[in-house]
A and B are shown apart, each in its own frame.
Chain A
Amino acid sequence: QKEVEQNSGPLSVPEGAIASLNCTYSDRGSQSFFWYRQYSGKSPELIMSIYSNGDKEDGRFTAQLNKASQYVSLLIRDSQPSDSATYLCAVNNNAGNMLTFGGGTRLMVKP
């Protein structure tokens, strides 16, 4: 079974700190990786995608991918209370654009 694992949290960080969210996946054939943010009671919104090994930066967010270790992470710099949400890692196994989601990590940024 293809799995995507995330620590459910909550991960608590002080405002202004770096939040590090981690995700591992089981299918070595996975090609596309996504991070979504989901506020309570809302639907997921795309933060960023990553396809190649290494880092990809977008504003305060940096996604990191290591296919050899089957590991993808999301760093949030200068965390703000508004970043408090559940972060979902999703992996595309090239099965018709279907995504396999992790259970999500709940992030709490404390003022």
Chain B
Amino acid sequence: GAVVSQHPSRVICKSGTSVKIECRSLDFQATTMFWYRQFPKKSLMLMATSNEGSKATYEQGVEKDKFLINHASLTLSTLTVTSAHPEDSSFYICSASGSGRGGTDTQYFGPGTRLTVL
């Protein structure tokens, strides 16, 4: 149990376009989902936290109008990178916590999405 999927796993886009990344909890209800980004050889950086049916809470320095997060159901959250630029190229990883096999505070990670903006 406690499986989280992400789609797409890899995306290449042109500068100025928008990219949507989906995060799904496959076998449990995710009351909270988290979005991270990670640059090569660097630590995970939390971007935002979203609770089902509520607006996302963004970390300091993360532009909410650029990184749109929607958590419309207990199994799906989406991150849309709007007007992407090369500096947005990174590894985006979602995680989910809820009624999984672990405690409700255990985060299970998706496999990540590697975004490359040309």
Chain B proximity of A86: nearest CB distance (Å): 9
Interface 9-residue window, one of B14-22, B80-88, B108-116: B108-116
B44 and A46 contacting across the interface, CB-CB below 8 Å = no
Interface string of A23-54 (1 = CB under 8 A from B): 00000000010101000011111100101000
With both chains docked as a complex, state the minimum distance between the C-beta of B52 and any C-beta of chain A, in angstroms.
13
Are the C-beta atoms of B49 and A96 separated by less than 8 Å?
yes
Which of A42, A45, A49 makes the CB contact (< 8 A) with B102?
A49
A43 contacts B43, C-beta separation under 8 Å: no
Number of interface residues of B (CB under 8 A): 22
A109 near B: Cβ within 8 Å?
Answer: no
Q: How far is the CA of A61 from the CA of B34 in the complex (A)?
A: 27
Total of A-B residue pairs, C-beta within 8 Å = 49
The reply to whether B97 and A43 contact each other, CB–CB distance below 8 Å, is no
What's the interface size class on A, roughly?
A: 20 to 34
In the complex, the chain B residue whose C-beta lies closest to that of A98 is B49
A44 to B108, CA, bound (A): 8
* Bound-state Cα–Cα, A46 to B2, Å: 10
Q: B residues within 8 A CB of A69?
A: none
* A42 & B111 in contact (Cβ 8 Å cutoff): yes
**Given contacts A97-B97, A98-B34, A104-B43, A43 and B110 within 8 Å (CB-CB):** yes
A101 contacts the other chain (Cβ, under 8 Å)? Answer: yes
Contact yes or no, B112 A46, CB < 8 A: no
Give chain B's interface residues, CB within 8 Å of chain A: 2, 32, 34, 43-44, 46, 49, 51, 91, 93, 97, 102-112
Closest 8 A/B residue pairs (Cβ): A43-B112, A43-B109, A97-B105, A43-B93, A103-B43, A97-B97, A92-B105, A44-B109
